[in-house]
Amino acid sequence: MTTIASILSLPGSPFNGSGIVGIVITNGVPSYFKVTGSDLDKIISVNWYPEHPASVKFTTRGMILIDNTIGTFMVMVTDNFLYDNNRAGHISFRLDDGTTLTAPVETYGRVSVGPLWQPAEQGLQTG
C-alpha cells in the first residue's frame, strides 16, 4: 500500500513541515519536491490542480524515484495570468490501481505576470 509520509520543498519553503505543498508562483522558477513514504513505485503521475486552472499555466516533471521510499518531482509556473499569488488547489498522485493521494497547495513568492517566453522576434519578457 502506497503511503506518503512527507512532501518537502527543496531547498525549502515557508510551508515545509505543515503538510502543505508550497509552489513558487514566479514565472520560470521551478519548485522541486522530495517525497518520502512507502511503495512510491506505484505512483504513475503527479499533477497540480490549481483552484482556478484558467489563471495559470505550468509544467511539471513527474516522479523520479531514488528508491521505493524517496522520490522527487517538479512544478514550474510558465504563465501567471493574474497579478495575484494565491493559486492554491492540490497536488494529486495517481497510483497504478487508479486511486489518488492528494496534498493541499499554497503558492508563494514574487508574482510575475504574463508568459516567460515570447516569440523570438519579441525577445524575452521578464515580467
Does residue 60 form part of some domain? yes
**Which residue in 24, 81, 65, 26 sits closest to 48, CA to CA?**
24
Does residue 127 form part of some domain? no
Predicted pLDDT at 113: 64
**Domain holding 52: CATH number?**
2.60.40
Predicted pLDDT at 80: 81
Domain that holds residue 41: 3-122
Does residue 41 form part of some domain? yes
Predicted pLDDT at 110: 82
**pLDDT tens, 11-32?**
888 899 898 999 998 888 999 9
Number of domains in the chain: 1
Kindly give, in sequence order, each residue whose CB lies less than 8 Å from that of residue 49, ignoring residues fewer than 6 positions away: 89, 90, 91, 92
DSSP symbol at 84: -
Predicted pLDDT at 87: 79
For the question of whether the overall pTM of this predicted structure is more than 0.85, the answer is no
